[in-house]
Chains A and B, each alone.
Chain A
Protein backbone atom coordinates (compact mmCIF):
# COMPACT_ATOMS: atom_id res chain seq x y z
CA UNK A 1 0.00 0.00 0.00
CA UNK A 2 1.46 3.33 -1.08
CA UNK A 3 1.05 6.71 0.55
CA UNK A 4 -2.05 8.74 -0.03
CA UNK A 5 -1.60 11.66 -2.41
CA UNK A 6 -3.51 14.93 -2.21
CA UNK A 7 -5.22 16.34 -5.27
CA UNK A 8 -2.58 19.05 -5.52
CA UNK A 9 0.13 16.39 -5.61
CA UNK A 10 -1.78 14.43 -8.25
CA UNK A 11 -2.35 17.57 -10.31
CA UNK A 12 1.40 17.94 -10.64
CA UNK A 13 1.38 14.79 -12.80
CA UNK A 14 -0.88 16.37 -15.44
CA UNK A 15 2.07 17.91 -17.30
CA UNK A 16 4.70 15.15 -17.05
CA UNK A 17 2.23 12.40 -17.98
CA UNK A 18 1.08 14.40 -21.01
CA UNK A 19 4.70 15.04 -22.04
CA UNK A 20 5.33 11.30 -21.98
CA UNK A 21 2.15 10.52 -23.93
CA UNK A 22 3.15 13.11 -26.53
CA UNK A 23 6.66 11.70 -26.86
CA UNK A 24 5.64 8.07 -27.23
CA UNK A 25 2.92 8.88 -29.73
CA UNK A 26 5.53 10.69 -31.76
CA UNK A 27 8.21 7.99 -31.53
CA UNK A 28 5.80 5.09 -32.14
CA UNK A 29 3.83 7.02 -34.76
CA UNK A 30 0.78 5.81 -32.91
CA UNK A 31 -2.75 7.21 -32.74
CA UNK A 32 -5.38 8.12 -30.12
CA UNK A 33 -3.47 10.95 -28.47
CA UNK A 34 -6.66 13.04 -28.24
CA UNK A 35 -8.43 10.26 -26.34
CA UNK A 36 -5.45 9.87 -24.01
CA UNK A 37 -5.37 13.59 -23.19
CA UNK A 38 -9.09 13.71 -22.44
CA UNK A 39 -9.04 10.85 -19.94
CA UNK A 40 -5.62 11.17 -18.36
CA UNK A 41 -6.55 13.37 -15.40
CA UNK A 42 -9.37 11.03 -14.35
CA UNK A 43 -7.00 8.12 -14.85
CA UNK A 44 -4.34 9.65 -12.58
CA UNK A 45 -6.91 10.26 -9.84
CA UNK A 46 -8.48 6.80 -10.11
CA UNK A 47 -5.12 5.06 -10.25
CA UNK A 48 -4.07 6.78 -7.04
CA UNK A 49 -6.88 4.87 -5.30
CA UNK A 50 -5.60 1.58 -6.73
CA UNK A 51 -2.07 2.43 -5.66
CA UNK A 52 -3.31 3.38 -2.20
CA UNK A 53 -5.31 0.20 -1.68
CA UNK A 54 -4.96 -2.86 -3.89
CA UNK A 55 -8.35 -4.13 -2.79
CA UNK A 56 -9.58 -1.50 -5.25
CA UNK A 57 -9.54 -2.56 -8.92
CA UNK A 58 -9.68 -0.59 -12.13
CA UNK A 59 -10.34 -1.25 -15.79
CA UNK A 60 -9.62 1.23 -18.56
CA UNK A 61 -12.37 0.12 -20.88
CA UNK A 62 -11.44 2.66 -23.56
CA UNK A 63 -8.37 0.61 -24.41
CA UNK A 64 -7.30 2.95 -27.20
CA UNK A 65 -6.04 5.31 -24.48
CA UNK A 66 -3.28 2.79 -23.71
CA UNK A 67 -0.58 5.46 -23.95
CA UNK A 68 -2.26 7.28 -21.06
CA UNK A 69 -2.51 4.08 -19.00
CA UNK A 70 1.15 3.22 -19.48
CA UNK A 71 2.30 6.82 -18.92
CA UNK A 72 0.36 6.97 -15.65
CA UNK A 73 1.92 3.71 -14.46
CA UNK A 74 5.35 5.05 -15.42
CA UNK A 75 4.77 8.28 -13.46
CA UNK A 76 3.70 6.31 -10.42
CA UNK A 77 7.01 4.43 -10.69
CA UNK A 78 5.42 1.12 -11.63
CA UNK A 79 7.30 0.35 -14.84
CA UNK A 80 10.90 -0.66 -15.27
CA UNK A 81 10.87 -0.17 -19.01
CA UNK A 82 11.60 3.03 -20.91
CA UNK A 83 8.27 3.78 -22.56
CA UNK A 84 9.82 5.98 -25.22
CA UNK A 85 11.50 2.96 -26.78
CA UNK A 86 9.06 0.16 -26.01
CA UNK A 87 5.59 1.59 -26.68
CA UNK A 88 4.13 -0.20 -29.72
CA UNK A 89 7.60 -1.67 -30.37
CA UNK A 90 8.37 -5.04 -31.94
CA UNK A 91 8.71 -7.81 -29.38
CA UNK A 92 7.26 -5.79 -26.49
CA UNK A 93 4.08 -6.05 -24.44
CA UNK A 94 3.12 -2.38 -24.70
CA UNK A 95 0.50 -2.64 -27.41
CA UNK A 96 -1.42 0.34 -28.73
CA UNK A 97 -4.47 -0.94 -26.89
CA UNK A 98 -4.28 -1.75 -23.18
CA UNK A 99 -2.56 -5.05 -22.38
CA UNK A 100 -2.86 -6.81 -19.04
CA UNK A 101 0.59 -8.30 -19.59
CA UNK A 102 2.14 -4.88 -18.86
CA UNK A 103 1.32 -4.65 -15.14
CA UNK A 104 -0.74 -6.50 -12.53
CA UNK A 105 -2.87 -3.42 -11.88
CA UNK A 106 -4.26 -3.72 -15.41
CA UNK A 107 -7.11 -6.11 -14.78
CA UNK A 108 -8.28 -6.50 -18.38
CA UNK A 109 -6.85 -6.17 -21.85
CA UNK A 110 -9.13 -3.83 -23.72
CA UNK A 111 -9.45 -2.27 -27.14
CA UNK A 112 -12.71 -3.69 -28.35
CA UNK A 113 -15.27 -1.36 -26.82
CA UNK A 114 -18.00 -2.61 -24.51
CA UNK A 115 -15.94 -5.25 -22.68
CA UNK A 116 -14.75 -3.35 -19.62
CA UNK A 117 -18.07 -2.75 -17.91
CA UNK A 118 -19.35 -6.37 -18.02
CA UNK A 119 -15.99 -7.59 -16.76
CA UNK A 120 -15.83 -4.96 -14.03
CA UNK A 121 -19.39 -5.88 -13.10
CA UNK A 122 -18.22 -9.47 -12.60
CA UNK A 123 -15.40 -8.31 -10.32
CA UNK A 124 -17.89 -6.20 -8.36
CA UNK A 125 -20.24 -9.16 -8.02
CA UNK A 126 -17.42 -11.38 -6.76
CA UNK A 127 -16.45 -8.73 -4.20
CA UNK A 128 -20.02 -8.22 -3.07
CA UNK A 129 -20.71 -11.92 -2.67
CA UNK A 130 -17.34 -12.68 -1.13
CA UNK A 131 -15.22 -11.21 1.57
CA UNK A 132 -13.25 -8.88 -0.68
CA UNK A 133 -13.70 -5.24 0.09
CA UNK A 134 -12.70 -2.35 -2.12
CA UNK A 135 -14.24 -0.60 -5.07
CA UNK A 136 -14.21 -1.37 -8.77
CA UNK A 137 -13.55 1.58 -11.09
CA UNK A 138 -14.38 1.28 -14.80
CA UNK A 139 -13.35 4.15 -17.06
CA UNK A 140 -15.33 4.23 -20.30
CA UNK A 141 -15.46 6.37 -23.40
CA UNK A 142 -18.65 8.13 -24.38
CA UNK A 143 -18.50 6.28 -27.72
CA UNK A 144 -18.93 3.11 -25.68
CA UNK A 145 -22.42 4.26 -24.81
CA UNK A 146 -23.37 2.96 -28.29
CA UNK A 147 -22.56 -0.61 -27.22
CA UNK A 148 -25.36 -2.90 -26.12
CA UNK A 149 -23.26 -4.42 -23.35
CA UNK A 150 -23.08 -1.02 -21.65
CA UNK A 151 -26.80 -1.03 -21.08
CA UNK A 152 -26.99 -4.76 -20.36
CA UNK A 153 -24.44 -4.18 -17.61
CA UNK A 154 -26.25 -1.08 -16.38
CA UNK A 155 -29.33 -3.25 -15.84
CA UNK A 156 -27.28 -6.03 -14.26
CA UNK A 157 -25.40 -3.80 -11.80
CA UNK A 158 -28.63 -2.19 -10.65
CA UNK A 159 -30.39 -5.55 -10.30
CA UNK A 160 -27.60 -6.97 -8.15
CA UNK A 161 -27.24 -3.66 -6.28
CA UNK A 162 -23.52 -3.40 -6.90
CA UNK A 163 -22.75 -0.60 -4.48
CA UNK A 164 -19.02 -1.05 -5.02
CA UNK A 165 -18.97 -0.26 -8.74
CA UNK A 166 -17.94 3.22 -9.95
CA UNK A 167 -18.07 4.09 -13.65
CA UNK A 168 -16.42 7.16 -15.13
CA UNK A 169 -17.56 8.20 -18.60
CA UNK A 170 -14.94 10.26 -20.41
CA UNK A 171 -17.45 12.66 -21.94
CA UNK A 172 -15.34 14.35 -24.60
CA UNK A 173 -18.27 14.34 -27.04
CA UNK A 174 -16.21 13.15 -29.98
CA UNK A 175 -16.05 9.66 -31.34
CA UNK A 176 -14.47 8.01 -34.32
CA UNK A 177 -16.03 9.97 -37.18
CA UNK A 178 -17.87 12.88 -35.62
CA UNK A 179 -19.41 14.28 -32.42
CA UNK A 180 -21.43 11.85 -30.34
CA UNK A 181 -24.73 13.66 -30.76
CA UNK A 182 -24.65 13.55 -34.54
CA UNK A 183 -23.41 9.94 -34.54
CA UNK A 184 -25.85 8.20 -32.21
CA UNK A 185 -27.51 10.68 -29.90
CA UNK A 186 -26.63 10.02 -26.25
CA UNK A 187 -28.28 12.89 -24.41
CA UNK A 188 -29.80 13.10 -21.89
CA UNK A 189 -27.02 10.75 -20.79
CA UNK A 190 -27.10 11.42 -17.06
CA UNK A 191 -30.86 10.91 -16.96
CA UNK A 192 -30.47 7.61 -18.79
CA UNK A 193 -28.08 6.26 -16.15
CA UNK A 194 -30.26 7.60 -13.37
CA UNK A 195 -33.29 5.89 -14.87
CA UNK A 196 -31.33 2.62 -14.83
CA UNK A 197 -31.11 2.96 -11.04
CA UNK A 198 -27.59 4.37 -10.71
CA UNK A 199 -26.33 7.20 -8.52
CA UNK A 200 -25.19 9.83 -11.02
CA UNK A 201 -22.76 12.74 -10.87
CA UNK A 202 -21.02 15.13 -13.22
CA UNK A 203 -17.51 16.40 -12.82
CA UNK A 204 -14.95 18.51 -14.66
CA UNK A 205 -12.62 15.85 -16.05
CA UNK A 206 -9.60 18.16 -15.83
CA UNK A 207 -10.10 19.41 -12.25
CA UNK A 208 -8.17 17.23 -9.81
CA UNK A 209 -9.89 18.96 -6.92
CA UNK A 210 -13.35 18.13 -8.22
CA UNK A 211 -12.51 14.54 -9.19
CA UNK A 212 -10.82 13.64 -5.90
CA UNK A 213 -13.49 15.33 -3.77
CA UNK A 214 -16.19 13.44 -5.66
CA UNK A 215 -14.44 10.09 -5.28
CA UNK A 216 -14.02 10.77 -1.55
CA UNK A 217 -17.72 11.56 -1.30
CA UNK A 218 -18.71 8.39 -3.18
CA UNK A 219 -16.42 6.25 -1.04
CA UNK A 220 -18.33 7.18 2.09
CA UNK A 221 -21.90 7.27 0.88
CA UNK A 222 -22.27 4.82 -2.02
CA UNK A 223 -25.51 2.87 -1.85
CA UNK A 224 -25.90 2.00 -5.55
CA UNK A 225 -23.70 1.60 -8.60
CA UNK A 226 -22.29 5.02 -9.41
CA UNK A 227 -21.94 6.69 -12.80
CA UNK A 228 -19.80 9.82 -13.04
CA UNK A 229 -19.98 11.78 -16.26
CA UNK A 230 -16.57 13.40 -16.56
CA UNK A 231 -16.92 16.32 -18.93
CA UNK A 232 -13.66 16.47 -20.81
CA UNK A 233 -12.00 18.06 -23.79
CA UNK A 234 -10.54 15.68 -26.33
CA UNK A 235 -6.85 16.55 -26.78
CA UNK A 236 -6.87 18.73 -23.63
CA UNK A 237 -3.58 20.52 -23.13
CA UNK A 238 -2.44 21.19 -26.69
CA UNK A 239 -4.55 23.79 -28.48
CA UNK A 240 -4.36 22.36 -32.00
CA UNK A 241 -5.40 18.92 -30.80
CA UNK A 242 -8.37 20.05 -28.75
CA UNK A 243 -11.87 19.08 -29.90
CA UNK A 244 -10.57 17.68 -33.17
CA UNK A 245 -11.57 14.31 -34.62
CA UNK A 246 -8.34 14.34 -36.62
CA UNK A 247 -6.33 13.81 -33.42
CA UNK A 248 -8.20 10.61 -32.73
CA UNK A 249 -5.99 9.14 -35.44
CA UNK A 250 -3.05 11.38 -36.09
CA UNK A 251 0.33 11.01 -34.45
CA UNK A 252 2.37 14.18 -33.88
CA UNK A 253 5.29 14.74 -36.27
CA UNK A 254 8.52 16.28 -35.01
CA UNK A 255 7.34 19.89 -35.49
CA UNK A 256 4.07 19.17 -33.72
CA UNK A 257 6.01 17.44 -30.96
CA UNK A 258 8.07 20.56 -30.33
CA UNK A 259 5.07 22.87 -30.48
CA UNK A 260 3.14 20.52 -28.20
CA UNK A 261 5.96 20.48 -25.67
CA UNK A 262 6.01 24.27 -25.52
CA UNK A 263 2.25 24.42 -24.99
CA UNK A 264 2.28 21.73 -22.31
CA UNK A 265 5.06 23.54 -20.51
CA UNK A 266 3.16 26.80 -20.55
CA UNK A 267 -0.10 25.23 -19.43
CA UNK A 268 1.03 22.84 -16.74
CA UNK A 269 4.19 24.36 -15.25
Chain B
Protein backbone atom coordinates (compact mmCIF):
# COMPACT_ATOMS: atom_id res chain seq x y z
CA UNK B 1 0.00 0.00 0.00
CA UNK B 2 2.79 2.44 0.86
CA UNK B 3 4.49 1.73 -2.47
CA UNK B 4 1.26 2.40 -4.35
CA UNK B 5 0.96 5.69 -2.45
CA UNK B 6 4.49 6.71 -3.44
CA UNK B 7 3.86 5.71 -7.05
CA UNK B 8 0.66 7.78 -7.35
CA UNK B 9 2.21 10.76 -5.57
CA UNK B 10 5.21 10.80 -7.90
CA UNK B 11 2.96 10.85 -10.97
CA UNK B 12 1.12 13.83 -9.52
CA UNK B 13 4.31 15.58 -8.41
CA UNK B 14 5.75 15.42 -11.91
CA UNK B 15 2.63 17.20 -13.16
CA UNK B 16 2.56 19.78 -10.36
CA UNK B 17 5.76 21.24 -8.95
CA UNK B 18 3.81 22.87 -6.15
CA UNK B 19 3.32 19.43 -4.61
CA UNK B 20 5.97 18.66 -1.99
CA UNK B 21 6.80 15.58 0.05
CA UNK B 22 8.43 15.83 3.48
CA UNK B 23 9.64 12.83 5.42
CA UNK B 24 10.84 12.40 8.96
CA UNK B 25 13.79 10.33 7.78
CA UNK B 26 11.65 7.32 6.84
CA UNK B 27 10.65 5.66 3.59
CA UNK B 28 13.71 3.57 2.74
CA UNK B 29 12.94 1.59 -0.40
CA UNK B 30 9.55 3.30 -0.69
CA UNK B 31 10.33 6.94 -1.44
CA UNK B 32 13.58 6.34 -3.35
CA UNK B 33 12.05 6.82 -6.76
CA UNK B 34 10.32 10.03 -5.70
CA UNK B 35 13.61 11.34 -4.29
CA UNK B 36 15.39 10.54 -7.53
CA UNK B 37 12.79 11.78 -9.99
CA UNK B 38 11.43 14.81 -8.13
CA UNK B 39 14.40 15.89 -6.02
CA UNK B 40 13.35 19.53 -5.81
CA UNK B 41 10.03 18.50 -4.30
CA UNK B 42 11.40 16.17 -1.64
CA UNK B 43 12.74 17.22 1.76
CA UNK B 44 14.06 14.94 4.46
CA UNK B 45 13.42 16.89 7.66
CA UNK B 46 15.42 14.50 9.79
CA UNK B 47 14.10 12.82 12.92
CA UNK B 48 12.21 15.93 13.99
CA UNK B 49 8.49 15.39 13.53
CA UNK B 50 7.30 18.47 15.42
CA UNK B 51 9.43 20.78 13.32
CA UNK B 52 8.46 18.87 10.17
CA UNK B 53 4.77 19.64 10.77
CA UNK B 54 5.53 23.31 11.47
CA UNK B 55 7.64 23.51 8.31
CA UNK B 56 4.81 21.87 6.36
CA UNK B 57 2.43 24.52 7.67
CA UNK B 58 4.79 27.32 6.66
CA UNK B 59 5.24 25.85 3.19
CA UNK B 60 1.51 25.43 2.74
CA UNK B 61 0.90 29.03 3.84
CA UNK B 62 2.95 30.03 0.79
CA UNK B 63 0.73 28.06 -1.59
CA UNK B 64 2.30 24.61 -1.55
CA UNK B 65 0.42 21.30 -1.30
CA UNK B 66 2.43 19.34 1.23
CA UNK B 67 2.49 15.63 2.06
CA UNK B 68 4.19 14.61 5.30
CA UNK B 69 5.31 10.99 5.52
CA UNK B 70 6.30 8.94 8.52
CA UNK B 71 5.21 5.82 10.38
CA UNK B 72 2.65 4.97 13.05
CA UNK B 73 2.56 7.54 15.88
CA UNK B 74 5.46 9.71 14.76
CA UNK B 75 3.54 12.07 12.43
CA UNK B 76 0.41 12.04 14.61
CA UNK B 77 0.69 11.68 18.39
CA UNK B 78 4.28 12.93 18.56
CA UNK B 79 3.37 16.26 16.98
CA UNK B 80 -0.29 16.53 17.82
CA UNK B 81 -0.20 20.15 18.95
CA UNK B 82 1.61 21.20 15.78
CA UNK B 83 -1.13 19.50 13.73
CA UNK B 84 -3.81 21.20 15.82
CA UNK B 85 -2.37 24.73 15.89
CA UNK B 86 -0.20 25.03 12.79
CA UNK B 87 -2.23 23.00 10.30
CA UNK B 88 -5.89 22.64 11.22
CA UNK B 89 -6.42 26.00 12.96
CA UNK B 90 -4.42 27.81 10.28
CA UNK B 91 -6.36 26.00 7.54
CA UNK B 92 -3.24 24.69 5.83
CA UNK B 93 -3.34 22.28 2.90
CA UNK B 94 -1.25 19.47 4.31
CA UNK B 95 -1.85 15.73 4.18
CA UNK B 96 -0.31 13.71 6.98
CA UNK B 97 0.51 10.20 5.83
CA UNK B 98 1.09 7.56 8.45
CA UNK B 99 2.27 4.12 7.41
CA UNK B 100 1.70 1.24 9.80
CA UNK B 101 -2.00 1.31 10.67
CA UNK B 102 -2.96 -0.82 13.67
CA UNK B 103 -0.56 -3.69 14.20
CA UNK B 104 1.16 -3.43 10.78
CA UNK B 105 4.46 -3.13 12.65
CA UNK B 106 3.24 -5.70 15.17
CA UNK B 107 6.48 -7.39 16.17
CA UNK B 108 8.27 -4.03 16.49
CA UNK B 109 6.43 -3.44 19.75
CA UNK B 110 3.91 -1.11 21.32
CA UNK B 111 5.84 2.06 20.38
CA UNK B 112 5.16 1.20 16.74
CA UNK B 113 1.47 0.27 17.03
CA UNK B 114 -0.81 2.85 15.45
CA UNK B 115 -3.93 2.18 17.46
CA UNK B 116 -5.12 5.54 18.81
CA UNK B 117 -4.58 7.74 15.76
CA UNK B 118 -8.13 7.75 14.36
CA UNK B 119 -9.71 9.03 17.55
CA UNK B 120 -6.99 11.58 18.15
CA UNK B 121 -7.01 12.91 14.59
CA UNK B 122 -10.77 12.72 14.21
CA UNK B 123 -11.42 14.95 17.20
CA UNK B 124 -9.53 17.82 15.54
CA UNK B 125 -12.66 18.64 13.58
CA UNK B 126 -11.71 20.27 10.31
CA UNK B 127 -9.42 17.43 9.36
CA UNK B 128 -10.66 14.61 7.17
CA UNK B 129 -9.54 11.07 7.98
CA UNK B 130 -8.96 8.50 5.24
CA UNK B 131 -8.29 4.88 6.10
CA UNK B 132 -8.15 2.67 3.01
CA UNK B 133 -8.43 -1.11 3.27
CA UNK B 134 -6.54 -1.90 0.08
CA UNK B 135 -4.85 -0.29 -2.92
CA UNK B 136 -8.13 -0.03 -4.85
CA UNK B 137 -9.49 2.22 -2.12
CA UNK B 138 -6.23 4.15 -1.93
CA UNK B 139 -6.27 4.82 -5.67
CA UNK B 140 -9.80 6.16 -5.42
CA UNK B 141 -8.94 8.33 -2.40
CA UNK B 142 -5.78 9.96 -3.75
CA UNK B 143 -7.38 12.38 -6.27
CA UNK B 144 -9.55 13.81 -3.48
CA UNK B 145 -6.64 14.07 -1.07
CA UNK B 146 -4.46 15.80 -3.66
CA UNK B 147 -7.06 18.35 -4.72
CA UNK B 148 -8.51 18.97 -1.26
CA UNK B 149 -7.59 22.40 0.05
CA UNK B 150 -7.57 21.48 3.71
CA UNK B 151 -5.70 19.40 6.23
CA UNK B 152 -6.21 15.66 5.94
CA UNK B 153 -4.95 12.43 7.45
CA UNK B 154 -4.19 9.36 5.37
CA UNK B 155 -3.80 6.17 7.39
CA UNK B 156 -2.02 3.47 5.42
CA UNK B 157 -1.15 -0.14 6.06
CA UNK B 158 2.34 -1.25 5.20
CA UNK B 159 2.73 -3.63 2.31
CA UNK B 160 1.19 -6.81 0.97
CA UNK B 161 -2.35 -6.22 2.20
CA UNK B 162 -4.84 -8.46 0.35
CA UNK B 163 -7.26 -6.78 -2.04
CA UNK B 164 -10.73 -6.83 -0.58
CA UNK B 165 -12.30 -5.39 -3.73
CA UNK B 166 -12.15 -7.24 -7.05
CA UNK B 167 -12.12 -4.11 -9.19
CA UNK B 168 -11.01 -0.53 -9.07
CA UNK B 169 -13.40 1.93 -7.44
CA UNK B 170 -14.70 5.32 -8.42
CA UNK B 171 -16.59 6.53 -5.36
CA UNK B 172 -15.33 5.75 -1.87
CA UNK B 173 -17.33 8.30 0.09
CA UNK B 174 -20.13 5.87 0.82
CA UNK B 175 -19.48 2.52 2.54
CA UNK B 176 -18.50 0.01 -0.14
CA UNK B 177 -20.06 -3.44 -0.21
CA UNK B 178 -17.38 -6.10 -0.67
CA UNK B 179 -18.92 -9.30 0.63
CA UNK B 180 -22.38 -10.67 1.41
CA UNK B 181 -24.18 -13.83 2.43
CA UNK B 182 -27.87 -14.45 2.04
CA UNK B 183 -29.61 -17.82 2.47
CA UNK B 184 -33.08 -17.12 3.75
CA UNK B 185 -35.18 -13.98 3.64
CA UNK B 186 -36.36 -14.68 7.19
CA UNK B 187 -32.86 -14.72 8.69
CA UNK B 188 -31.58 -11.67 10.51
CA UNK B 189 -29.42 -9.28 8.50
CA UNK B 190 -26.13 -8.12 9.97
CA UNK B 191 -24.35 -5.09 8.52
CA UNK B 192 -20.61 -5.31 9.09
CA UNK B 193 -18.79 -2.01 8.65
CA UNK B 194 -15.03 -2.17 8.74
CA UNK B 195 -12.46 0.60 8.59
CA UNK B 196 -8.98 0.06 7.19
CA UNK B 197 -6.91 -2.99 6.38
CA UNK B 198 -8.61 -5.07 9.09
CA UNK B 199 -11.36 -5.54 6.47
CA UNK B 200 -9.24 -8.37 5.06
CA UNK B 201 -10.27 -10.49 8.06
CA UNK B 202 -13.82 -10.49 6.72
CA UNK B 203 -12.59 -12.35 3.65
CA UNK B 204 -12.30 -15.38 5.95
CA UNK B 205 -15.89 -15.27 7.20
CA UNK B 206 -17.35 -17.59 4.52
CA UNK B 207 -15.10 -20.38 5.87
CA UNK B 208 -16.42 -19.87 9.42
CA UNK B 209 -20.05 -19.01 8.78
CA UNK B 210 -22.64 -21.70 9.54
CA UNK B 211 -25.44 -19.89 7.78
CA UNK B 212 -27.55 -18.80 10.78
CA UNK B 213 -27.72 -15.20 9.64
CA UNK B 214 -27.36 -13.08 6.54
CA UNK B 215 -24.71 -10.44 6.35
CA UNK B 216 -23.42 -7.65 4.19
CA UNK B 217 -19.88 -6.41 4.73
CA UNK B 218 -18.87 -2.87 3.81
CA UNK B 219 -15.58 -1.07 3.92
CA UNK B 220 -15.56 2.56 5.07
CA UNK B 221 -12.36 4.29 3.96
CA UNK B 222 -13.60 7.89 4.40
CA UNK B 223 -14.68 8.94 7.87
CA UNK B 224 -17.50 11.29 7.06
CA UNK B 225 -20.44 11.37 9.45
CA UNK B 226 -22.86 12.83 6.93
CA UNK B 227 -22.26 10.02 4.44
CA UNK B 228 -22.49 7.40 7.17
CA UNK B 229 -25.78 8.87 8.33
CA UNK B 230 -27.24 8.71 4.80
CA UNK B 231 -26.04 5.13 4.47
CA UNK B 232 -27.52 4.01 7.79
CA UNK B 233 -30.83 5.71 7.06
CA UNK B 234 -31.01 3.88 3.75
CA UNK B 235 -30.31 0.36 5.02
CA UNK B 236 -32.30 -1.99 7.21
CA UNK B 237 -30.01 -4.03 9.43
CA UNK B 238 -31.03 -6.04 12.50
CA UNK B 239 -27.55 -5.55 13.86
CA UNK B 240 -24.64 -3.30 12.88
CA UNK B 241 -21.13 -4.46 13.76
CA UNK B 242 -18.20 -2.08 13.43
CA UNK B 243 -14.68 -3.38 13.03
CA UNK B 244 -11.41 -1.53 13.47
CA UNK B 245 -7.76 -2.27 14.25
CA UNK B 246 -7.81 0.57 16.73
CA UNK B 247 -8.83 1.21 20.32
CA UNK B 248 -12.56 1.40 20.92
CA UNK B 249 -12.42 4.82 22.59
CA UNK B 250 -13.15 7.52 20.05
CA UNK B 251 -12.46 5.53 16.92
CA UNK B 252 -14.50 4.43 13.93
CA UNK B 253 -17.09 2.56 16.00
CA UNK B 254 -17.50 5.53 18.30
CA UNK B 255 -18.19 7.66 15.26
CA UNK B 256 -21.11 5.42 14.34
CA UNK B 257 -22.44 5.60 17.88
CA UNK B 258 -22.31 9.39 17.64
CA UNK B 259 -24.23 9.32 14.35
CA UNK B 260 -26.76 6.92 15.88
CA UNK B 261 -27.27 9.23 18.84
CA UNK B 262 -27.16 12.59 17.05
CA UNK B 263 -29.77 11.55 14.49
CA UNK B 264 -31.93 9.36 16.77
CA UNK B 265 -31.48 6.37 14.48
CA UNK B 266 -32.06 3.83 17.28
CA UNK B 267 -29.93 1.25 15.52
CA UNK B 268 -28.50 -1.75 17.29
CA UNK B 269 -24.74 -1.06 16.93
CA UNK B 270 -21.95 -3.04 18.55
CA UNK B 271 -18.28 -2.09 18.27
CA UNK B 272 -15.41 -4.51 17.87
CA UNK B 273 -11.94 -3.11 18.37
CA UNK B 274 -8.95 -3.09 20.68
CA UNK B 275 -9.25 -2.77 24.42
CA UNK B 276 -6.28 -1.28 26.20
CA UNK B 277 -5.04 -4.58 27.57
CA UNK B 278 -2.38 -7.15 26.69
CA UNK B 279 -0.06 -4.28 25.79
CA UNK B 280 3.00 -6.22 26.88
CA UNK B 281 2.37 -9.03 24.41
CA UNK B 282 4.43 -8.87 21.24
CA UNK B 283 3.88 -10.59 17.92
CA UNK B 284 3.04 -10.40 14.24
CA UNK B 285 0.02 -8.53 12.96
CA UNK B 286 -2.03 -11.71 12.57
CA UNK B 287 -1.02 -12.90 16.04
CA UNK B 288 -1.93 -9.58 17.65
CA UNK B 289 -5.26 -9.48 15.82
CA UNK B 290 -5.93 -12.90 17.32
CA UNK B 291 -5.05 -12.07 20.92
CA UNK B 292 -6.85 -8.73 20.77
CA UNK B 293 -9.88 -10.63 19.45
CA UNK B 294 -10.40 -8.74 16.22
CA UNK B 295 -9.56 -11.50 13.73
CA UNK B 296 -12.06 -13.45 11.63
CA UNK B 297 -12.81 -16.04 14.34
CA UNK B 298 -13.46 -13.29 16.88
CA UNK B 299 -15.63 -11.34 14.46
CA UNK B 300 -17.84 -14.39 13.97
CA UNK B 301 -18.11 -15.02 17.71
CA UNK B 302 -18.88 -11.35 18.35
CA UNK B 303 -21.74 -11.41 15.85
CA UNK B 304 -23.18 -14.61 17.33
CA UNK B 305 -23.02 -13.15 20.86
CA UNK B 306 -24.79 -9.97 19.84
CA UNK B 307 -27.51 -11.33 17.54
Please name the 9 residue pairs, one residue from A and one from B, whose CB atoms are nearest each other, closest first.
A122-B58, A118-B54, A126-B62, A122-B55, A152-B51, A152-B48, A123-B58, A118-B51, A119-B58
CB distance A123 to B48 under 8 Å? no
CB distance A155 to B46 under 8 Å? yes
The segment from B84-92, B117-125, B202-210 that touches chain A is B84-92
Contact residues of A: prevailing secondary structure: helix
CB distance B55 to A119 under 8 Å? yes
Chain A neighbourhood of B90, CB < 8 A: 100, 108-109
**Given known A-B contacts A100-B90, A129-B40, A118 and B64 have beta carbons under 8 A apart:** no
Q: A120 on the interface (CB 8 Å rule)?
A: yes
Q: B56 on the interface (CB 8 Å rule)?
A: yes
User: A110: shortest Cβ distance to chain B, in Å?
Assistant: 8
Chain A neighbourhood of B64, CB < 8 A: 126
Q: Which residue of A lies closest to B41 (CB)?
A: A129
User: B84: shortest Cβ distance to chain A, in Å?
Assistant: 9
Chain B neighbourhood of A149, CB < 8 A: 48, 50-51, 54
Chain A neighbourhood of B57, CB < 8 A: 108, 118-119, 122
Q: B232 on the interface (CB 8 Å rule)?
A: no
Q: Which residue of A lies closest to B22 (CB)?
A: A122
CB distance A124 to B54 under 8 Å? no
Partner pick for A119 among B46, B48, B54, B63, CB 8 A cutoff: B54
Chain A neighbourhood of B50, CB < 8 A: 114, 118, 148-149, 152
Question: With contacts A123-B58, A130-B62 known, what are 19 further pairs, Cβ within 8 A?
Answer: A108-B86, A108-B90, A112-B85, A115-B82, A118-B57, A121-B55, A121-B58, A122-B55, A122-B58, A123-B59, A124-B58, A125-B43, A125-B59, A126-B64, A132-B62, A149-B54, A152-B46, A153-B51, A159-B46
**Given known A-B contacts A112-B81, A112-B85, A125 and B55 have beta carbons under 8 A apart:** yes
Chain A neighbourhood of B61, CB < 8 A: 107-108, 119, 122-123, 126
Question: Which A residues lie at the B interface, using CB under 8 A?
Answer: 100, 107-109, 112, 114-115, 117-127, 129-130, 132, 148-149, 152-153, 155-156, 159-160
What are 25 contact pairs spanning A and B, CB under 8 A? Answer: A107-B61, A108-B61, A114-B50, A115-B54, A115-B81, A118-B50, A118-B86, A119-B54, A119-B55, A119-B86, A121-B54, A121-B55, A122-B60, A123-B62, A124-B58, A125-B43, A125-B59, A149-B48, A152-B46, A152-B50, A152-B51, A153-B54, A155-B46, A156-B51, A159-B46
CB distance B58 to A115 under 8 Å? no
